[in-house]
Amino acid sequence: MKTIETGISGLLVVEPVVHGDERGFFMETWKSSRYQAAGLPGRFVQSNLSRSGSGVIRGLHYQYPEPQGKLVSVLEGRVFDVAVDIRRGSPAFGQWAGVELSAENHRQFFVPEGFAHGFCVLSDTALLHYLCTREYRAEHDSVIAWDDPDLDIRWPVRTGHLSSKDSDAPRLCDVAEDKLPRMPG
């Protein structure tokens, strides 16, 4: 397994070892000891699937005060996946990294606790799988505008299909400080 740093502490792209031949392929999508040795959490408590159609944009979502870390992968299709550091006190506050995840490239994106996460679908449909470090709590669910001009995320699309929650999301600068996670330490 190979990990690629994004330039933001803790935010990693993971390239698992894929064993393939004419019959198909095999890969480990999670092995606690191996991933923990690479700097990822040793424990996840929830597993989610999300299917979306072409042009769908989801995010930028986060949970506070019980932030979730996520290990994201695409089982079908292709997405542009984004994470934004929203940890108060972080030297990378407001910085983002994006990566293309697909069923073909087998990449995973580790989004640590304290980051907002979103994606846009680049294929006809996409099936995402993600492991979470904490359970989802609807009362702590929060969102930041995917197209916040201060973040200047270079999305591969200009518009997309959004939920009402995502289309009405505030800019990061409009979120009260006490509604954002703090950098650990």
Amino acid at 27: M
Instruction: Given the residues 61, 62, 106, 117, select the one marked as catalytic.
Output: 61
Nearest to 72 by CA among 34, 107, 39, 28: 107
Q: Give the strands of the sheet with 115-121, arranged side by side.
A: 96-102, 78-85, 115-121, 57-63, 141-143
130 is an active site residue: yes
Q: How many CB atoms lie within 10 A of CB 86?
A: 26
| Structural domains of the chain, with CATH | 2-19+26-178 (2.60.120.10)
> What is the residue-level pLDDT of the chain in tens, covering all 185 positions?
999 999 999 999 999 999 999 999 999 999 999 999 999 998 999 999 999 999 999 999 999 999 999 999 999 999 999 999 999 999 999 999 999 999 999 999 999 999 999 999 999 999 999 999 999 999 999 999 999 999 999 999 989 999 999 999 999 999 999 999 999 87
Instruction: Given the residues 35, 62, 64, 130, select the one marked as catalytic.
Output: 130
61 is an active site residue: yes
